[in-house]
Amino acid sequence: MPAEFSRPSDEGMFCLAGDTVSCLSDADIDALIREDLGGDDLTTRTLAIGARAGRMQFRARQPMVAACLPEAARMLERLGCGARCLAEPGVILAAGTPLLEARGSAASLHAGWKSAQTLVEWASGIATATRALVDAARTARPDIAVHCTRKTVPMTRALAARAVLAGGGEIHRRGLFDTVMLFPEHRAFLDRPADIAAAVVALRRRLPARAIMVEVVTETEALAAAEAFVDVIQLEKFTPEAAARVVAAVVRGGDGGAGGAGR
């Protein structure tokens, strides 16, 4: 994603701080700035150009789905620039489409340039890849939902979630706090680790208003979870063929067939 710099015309500066909504707090934004800036931009200071006014614009290098533009704009605003987002999230953009524009001193622009640019490139990569997965899945089933797990790089979960949503995906789980997810690693500590139904009953007794999700590693476990009427069965590392067999068995069970009751 290229960034274009220029000296501004006489039309003046602008500040549109109110028209972007970031998923990060200002403290988090400041931490991103400090990571790159440290205490000094050695090159800009040595060239004595910091006080000069300038303009910077990010453009799409190739077709993409943009994400985290508000966070990048807020980063530049925190450095004293006026910034605005020029593209909508979740839309497939053509190469060359303007994404974000900022104006300010050369010192402020250079202090936030690479951090803001890299953030948008990384998040837009996630959004673009997510859109490709969603589009591929919907060629087979137009109403299908593609959910992303919480396996993100540490300290990037809020940004990654925003990028997934921009790409048309959904968030499977934000953290340990928001869903009931029974893993085999939980069952290993129970008196009867193989008894999925008993674990589900215990969870429902304590958390009756919550959906229960269960991860399974074998087809037998998957059918046991279906017999326990769990809300979601997560098939861990199943091949497409094994997943298809489970789905067929659960559907038969739901119709009163050999697979037992399914949901």
SS3 annotation, 212-244: EEEEECCHHHHHHHHHCCCCEEEECCCCHHHHH
- Of 161, 15, 168, 153, the C-alpha closest to 81 is 15
* pLDDT digits 0-9 by tens, 114-132: 999 999 999 999 999 999 9
Of 6-20, 88-102, 234-248, minimum mean pLDDT range: 6-20
Average pLDDT over the chain, rounded to an integer: 90
Instruction: Give mean pLDDT, residues 241-253.
Output: 91
For residues 43 and 252, the model is more confident at 43
pLDDT value at residue 255: 63
C-alpha to C-alpha distance for 84 and 18, rounded to whole angstroms:
9
- Evaluate whether 167 touches 65 at the Cβ level (below 8 Å): yes
How high is the pLDDT of residue 13? 35
In terms of Cβ atoms closer than 10 Å to its own Cβ (0-12, 13-18, 19+), residue 125 is middle
Residues sharing a CB contact under 8 Å with residue 218, sequence separation 6 or more, in sequence order: none
Half-sphere exposure of 123 (CA within 13 A, CB side): 26
Residue closest to 174 by CA, chosen among 148, 202, 204, 206: 148
- Strand pairing category for 3-6 and 53-59: antiparallel
pLDDT at 15: 35
Confidence of residue 195 (pLDDT cuts 50, 70, 90): very high
| pLDDT (0 to 100) of residue 262 | 39
pLDDT given at position 89: 84
pLDDT at 208: 96
What is the rounded average pLDDT of the residues 217-244?
95
All domains in the chain, ordered by first residue: 3-140 (3.90.1170.20), 180-254 (3.20.20.70)
When pLDDT is cut at 50, 70 and 90, the band that residue 205 belongs to is very high
47-51, 78-82, 152-156: least confident range:
152-156
What per-residue confidence (pLDDT) applies to 17?
33
Label residue 21 by pLDDT band (50, 70, 90).
Answer: confident
**pLDDT of 261:** 42
- Taking residue 22's Cβ as centre, other Cβ atoms within 10 Å add up to 21
Q: Would the pLDDT of 259 be above 50?
A: no
Residue with the bigger pLDDT between 140 and 235: it is: 235
| Three-state secondary-structure class, residue 90 | coil
**Distance separating alpha carbons of residues 57 and 47, to the nearest angstrom:** 22
